[in-house]
Amino acid sequence: MINKKKFIAVIGGSQPSAEEARLAEEVGRELAGRGAILVCGGLGGVMEAACKGASSQGGITIGILPGDSRQAANSCVQIPIVTGIGYARNIAVVKSAQAVIAIGGSYGTLSEIAHALQSEIPVIGLNTWSLSRNGQPDNSIIPVQDPTEAVDKALNLAVS
Amino acid sequence: MINKKKFIAVIGGSQPSAEEARLAEEVGRELAGRGAILVCGGLGGVMEAACKGASSQGGITIGILPGDSRQAANSCVQIPIVTGIGYARNIAVVKSAQAVIAIGGSYGTLSEIAHALQSEIPVIGLNTWSLSRNGQPDNSIIPVQDPTEAVDKALNLAVS
Amino acid sequence: MINKKKFIAVIGGSQPSAEEARLAEEVGRELAGRGAILVCGGLGGVMEAACKGASSQGGITIGILPGDSRQAANSCVQIPIVTGIGYARNIAVVKSAQAVIAIGGSYGTLSEIAHALQSEIPVIGLNTWSLSRNGQPDNSIIPVQDPTEAVDKALNLAVS
Amino acid sequence: MINKKKFIAVIGGSQPSAEEARLAEEVGRELAGRGAILVCGGLGGVMEAACKGASSQGGITIGILPGDSRQAANSCVQIPIVTGIGYARNIAVVKSAQAVIAIGGSYGTLSEIAHALQSEIPVIGLNTWSLSRNGQPDNSIIPVQDPTEAVDKALNLAVS
């Protein structure tokens, strides 16, 4: 059954560095290889690289789109969800996952990290944001060194 | 490829009559039998009956949920999308489909019909709302007599 | 205190007939003259005509916008709310009001009527949609003959 | 005209420290005293303290609520906007403002900061989050020392 599988979101920018794109593709490949379903924002950059990696292993990819057209999805999204709600779809991306892997990213990714942490969904970070609050470090984003460790942590933490 | 399949939404109330539930289950069964992917609001009533029918044929079922928890999905939803945006998820339900089949339903269903028509997504109706505007009938909802005709029409019209 | 005033939504199309625009302006004028606050979708057509009428009487006008820019508001909106959520803002328009006056309108207006009825917010109709469900008339939209009667009914019903 | 005034959002947690509440009230007082309109999330804590301060100076206060009821607004909200979209309303809070003042806050506030920065809306910070990306400080949040400086900066930067 699909709904017994783990749903893991991969978030990151639409204009990643070459290294970030490589990391995202590797994360997608590992997730699919280990039976997880990939959730993302459905567009380009990190989202597309992760979908490409997952698709190469026969994995299922879900793209939760901000706009009004399924045509906006990258070509490796198998299940396009068309929300029409703009950046508010960022919330649906993280809430639809049991753990989140953030790779690089700009303010949109930061908003997704914040919404995930607010919803108590674990966030694993690869070369991404770090936070401090009132001068004290906030260590809620779990740092990892490579895609394999990211996927290990995400699958271990995806329990609810 | 999943994304070459047709995505059809089934909408209707959470407290259907026995007849409406029977129609919804039959619609779900036909959709899955003919290779379509079922999109719905993920909760009970017509949504659950349609998912049950689709699942009985090995079909894929997507439930776009209003609340904050995947646990709210009916047991036949395979891909729960957790939006956290309340009834605004009605818009995502219809926009994620290429055609919509409405079965019975109350004001929530009527809102979905309206959002679909506004987005120029075909709506097929089984025992559901009919509309007139300024005293003139609006025939945008395509009436059908039974589940087979509903699925025929939906698949024919699901082109974009 | 502003928040003791009644909040009334005026909904209708962005391309009204001349008669609908006249009705909307008169409704706006009456609402403001009787101390109510006007809520609308903030754009052109019926929304703009109603805001123009209300402004002519010194009333307060709220425009709940679908897009990302306050610049999209019509020039008689005093309080632009910028949602960025597209047509999902239709829900906020009606939920922010204690009663709704619908004037003409197309499917967007129909979606607002449906969301209002689902939320048990009274809907008064001037030359707008009428509904039937499963062949039986649904009389939830309260028909009125003119702007004065519309405003009378809206203010009487705006109790919660 | 109200719509010539500046719209400034005050964001922060619902369970602030006593010092944060004092800062928020002072910010609200200064904003109203200088003719700005206060936008906030409409609930308790920093939101309520800011509304209280603004109201004490006769200012206008807008509360953009996550839920389905205007009754949830704090008693100093004059214009309750009822969105029904949950935390997605955070986006509307910042987009409806021309500048944002963040006071303390947890992950919800962080999401609002991120959405504001993504939309290129200036963010002024009082005892709030600080950010770094990939190990490099991101100085987009403008730090200030006290409420007067926060309001000065917000009004100066609120140009679009």
Q: What is the DSSP string of A56-70?
A: HTT--EEEEESSS-G
Average confidence (pLDDT) over B83-92 = 98
The pLDDT assigned to A123 comes to 98
The pLDDT assigned to C1 comes to 61
Segment D104-143, tens digit of pLDDT: 999 999 999 999 999 999 999 999 999 999 889 999 999 9
Q: Return phi, psi of residue A73, to 5°.
A: -65, 145
With a pLDDT cut of 70, the percent of chain D lying above it is 98
Average confidence (pLDDT) over B16-45 = 98
Tell me the shortest Cα–Cα distance from C155 to chain B, in angstroms: 23
CB B102 within 8 Å of CB B112: yes
Stretches where chain A sits below pLDDT 70 are 1-3
Average pLDDT, chain D: 96
The pLDDT assigned to C4 comes to 81
Q: Return phi, psi of residue A77, to 5°.
A: -80, 125
- Residues B36, B37, B41, B46, CA torsion sign: positive
pLDDT bracket for residue D4 (50, 70, 90): confident
Residues in A closer than 8 angstroms to D85, CB to CB, are 88
Tell me the shortest Cα–Cα distance from B84 to chain D, in angstroms: 6
Q: Which residue of D has its CA nearest to A121?
A: D107
Average confidence (pLDDT) over D57-72 = 97
Q: Return phi, psi of residue C30, to 5°.
A: -65, -40
Tell me the shortest Cα–Cα distance from B154 to chain C, in angstroms: 20
The pLDDT assigned to B4 comes to 81
The pLDDT assigned to B1 comes to 61
Tell me the shortest Cα–Cα distance from A106 to chain D, in angstroms: 8
Residues in D closer than 8 angstroms to C96, CB to CB, are 70, 80-83
Q: Which residue of C has its CA nearest to B90?
A: C88
The pLDDT assigned to A160 comes to 73
The pLDDT assigned to D160 comes to 73
The answer to whether residue B78 scores a pLDDT higher than 70 is yes
C1 contacts D79? CB cut-off 8 A:
no
Q: Which residue of B has its CA nearest to D89?
A: B85
Helix, strand and coil in chain B, % to nearest 5: 40, 25, 35
The answer to whether residue B3 scores a pLDDT higher than 80 is no
CB B48 within 8 Å of CB B18: no
Q: Which residue of B has its CA nearest to C103?
A: B134
The answer to whether residue D3 scores a pLDDT higher than 70 is no
| Range with the poorest average pLDDT among B2-11, B109-118, C83-92 | B2-11
> Looking at the complex, does the CB of residue D136 fall below 8 Å from at least one CB of chain A?
no
B3 contacts A79? CB cut-off 8 A:
yes
Helix pair angle (A46-56, A18-33), 10° resolution: 40
> Looking at the complex, does the CB of residue A135 fall below 8 Å from at least one CB of chain D?
yes
Q: How far apart are CA B152 and CA A112, in angstroms?
A: 40
Structure tokens at A139: 């260590």
Residues in B closer than 8 angstroms to C85, CB to CB, are 88
- The A residues from 15 to 74 touching B (CB cutoff 8 Å) are 37, 60, 62, 64, 68, 70, 73
The answer to whether residue C124 scores a pLDDT higher than 70 is yes
Long-range Cβ contacts of C148-152 (<8 Å, 24+ apart): C148/C30, C150/C27, C150/C30, C150/C101, C150/C124, C150/C126, C151/C8, C151/C27, C151/C30, C151/C31, C151/C34, C151/C36, C151/C101
B64 contacts A3? CB cut-off 8 A:
no
> Looking at the complex, does the CB of residue A85 fall below 8 Å from at least one CB of chain C?
yes
> Looking at the complex, does the CB of residue D138 fall below 8 Å from at least one CB of chain B?
no
Segment C25-34, tens digit of pLDDT: 999 999 999 9
Structure tokens at C94: 């009606």
- The C residues from 104 to 133 touching B (CB cutoff 8 Å) are 104, 106-108, 110-111, 113-115, 117-118, 127-133
The answer to whether residue B104 scores a pLDDT higher than 90 is yes
Q: Which residue of C has its CA nearest to B103?
A: C134
D85 contacts A108? CB cut-off 8 A:
no
pLDDT bracket for residue B46 (50, 70, 90): very high
Preferred mutation among C110, C119, C120, C139 to probe B, highest tally of B CBs within 10 A: C110
CB B122 within 8 Å of CB B8: no
The pLDDT assigned to A1 comes to 60
Average confidence (pLDDT) over B12-25 = 97
- Enter the pTM of the model: 0.97
The answer to whether residue C160 scores a pLDDT higher than 80 is no
The answer to whether residue D78 scores a pLDDT higher than 90 is yes
